[in-house]
């Protein structure tokens, strides 16, 4: 996503040099979307929490009987 953002910035600069105003506007919309996506990725990555689920145990009631009658 970072490469896409950087490429869009380069393409905007080129479009501005060439005077392609319609192209510039479309690329800016795409750039805003890419930057929003990067921000979402950053928020998801920083909020991770480890949850200890413990070790499962088996009770005698849940184990099948080993004796045969």
Express each pLDDT in 2-15 by its tens digit. 999 999 999 999 99
C-beta of residue 15 within 8 angstroms of C-beta of residue 24: yes
Residue 12 included in any domain: yes
How many degrees, rounded to 5, is the angle at CA 39 between CA 37 and CA 45? 105
Q: What is the pLDDT confidence band of residue 44, given thresholds at 50, 70 and 90?
A: confident
Structure tokens at 38: 């990067």
Q: What pLDDT shows up at residue 63?
A: 60
Residue 15 included in any domain: yes
Q: What is the pTM of this model?
A: 0.61
Residue 69 included in any domain: no
Quote the number of domains for the chain: 1
Mean pLDDT of 34-62: 81
Residue 51 included in any domain: no
Owning domain of residue 20: 2-44
Q: What pLDDT shows up at residue 37?
A: 94
Q: What pLDDT shows up at residue 10?
A: 97
Q: Is the dihedral of CA 31, 36, 41, 45 positive or negative?
A: positive
């Amino acid at each position: 996503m970072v490469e896409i953002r950087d490429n869009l910035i380069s393409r905007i600069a080129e479009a501005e040099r060439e005077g392609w105003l319609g192209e510039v506007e479309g690329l800016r919309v795409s750039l805003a979307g890419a930057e929003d996506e990067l921000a979402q990725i950053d928020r998801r990555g920083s909020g991770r929490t480890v949850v200890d689920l413990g070790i499962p145990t088996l009770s005698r009631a849940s184990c099948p009987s080993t004796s045969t009658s």
